[in-house]
């Protein structure tokens, strides 16, 4: 279940920032490696004859690549937001992180009905009947995403200001006092969804591979 965003205005020490940077670097490497692996899998799938199994596997890979890029980009932006001490850079990375969060949520689940029909969550829904053991977990994540979509625009205004470079509004936004703790904890709210989905899809991917291995043995 989703929880209310909580933050304590904590200011990280230099050591804590260094530790966060180290953890972020390891996470970025793991996910960038995963993206490369999924890309290789996609090449293999495209070279095979079309089948129902390949269709399912392709959707899982497509959703997995999106989660990998979105998660990795959020971590990169959070890393530089946390480690910079320059006020302009701090404000800049806050804006770019919030744009990334807005776009990622829109693609992952969507704010409007049309977006939701074309979202990666909807793509994943197409194959969930093939994975009855994972459906309850999937629907729980979707229920939480629906609740957030109803009450949170994920910085739509910030997205418009930053992307369209609305200079007057950008000046006001970039000169606001940045509460590092608040920004980080709000970002974590979406990053946690990526963690949950990544864990779910890793197990679904393993189930696909196990099925393929059993099928090959029978053949």
Tokens at 70, concatenated: 């979105």
pLDDT > 70? residue 6: no
106-155, pLDDT tens digit by residue?
A: 999 998 888 899 999 999 999 999 999 999 999 999 999 998 888 777 88
What the block records as the tokens of 167 is 């200079």
- Mean pLDDT over 19-23 rounds to 92
pLDDT for res 4: 56
- Ranges of beta strands (E only) in the chain are none
| Longest pairwise C-alpha distance within the chain | 67
CB half-sphere exposure, 49, CA atoms < 13 A: 1
Mean pLDDT of the chain: 88
pLDDT at 139: 95
Report the alpha-carbon distance of residue 13 to residue 17 in Å, rounded.
Answer: 6
pTM equals 0.86
Residue 170 Cα distances to 30, 35, 101, angstroms: 34, 33, 18
Per mean pLDDT, which of 42-51, 87-96, 200-209 is the most reliable? 87-96
Per-residue pLDDT averaged across 191-196, rounded? 88
Q: What is the DSSP letter of 112?
A: S
Burial of 12: CB neighbours in 10 Å, binned 0-12, 13-18, 19+: middle
- pLDDT tens for 29-73 read 998 998 888 888 888 877 777 777 788 888 999 999 999 999 999
Across 5-9, 47-51, 74-78, the highest mean pLDDT is recorded for: 74-78
pLDDT over threshold 60, residue 75: yes
Cα 176 from Cα 171, distance rounded (Å): 9
155-181 pLDDT, tens digit each: 889 999 999 999 999 999 999 999 999
């Amino acid at each position: 279940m989703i929880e209310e965003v909580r933050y304590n205005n904590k200011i990280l020490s230099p050591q804590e920032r260094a530790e966060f940077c180290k953890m972020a670097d390891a996470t970025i490497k793991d996910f960038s490696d995963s993206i490369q692996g999924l890309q290789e899998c996609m090449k293999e799938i495209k070279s095979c004859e079309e089948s129902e199994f390949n269709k399912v596997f392709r959707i899982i890979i497509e959703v997995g690549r999106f989660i990998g890029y979105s998660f990795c980009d959020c971590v990169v932006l959070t890393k530089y937001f946390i480690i910079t001490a320059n006020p302009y850079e701090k404000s800049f990375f806050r804006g770019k992180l919030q744009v990334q969060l807005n776009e990622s949520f829109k693609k992952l689940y969507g704010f409007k009905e049309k977006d939701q029909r074309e979202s990666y969550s909807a793509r994943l829904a197409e194959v969930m009947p093939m994975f009855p053991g994972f459906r309850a977990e999937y629907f729980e994540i979707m229920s939480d995403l629906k609740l957030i979509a109803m009450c949170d625009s994920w910085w739509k205004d910030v997205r418009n200001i930053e992307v369209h470079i609305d200079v007057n509004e950008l000046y006001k936004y970039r000169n606001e006092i940045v509460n590092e703790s608040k920004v980080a904890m709000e970002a974590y709210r979406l990053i946690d969804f990526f963690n949950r989905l990544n864990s779910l899809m890793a197990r679904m991917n393993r189930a696909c591979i196990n099925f393929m291995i059993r099928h090959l043995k029978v053949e």
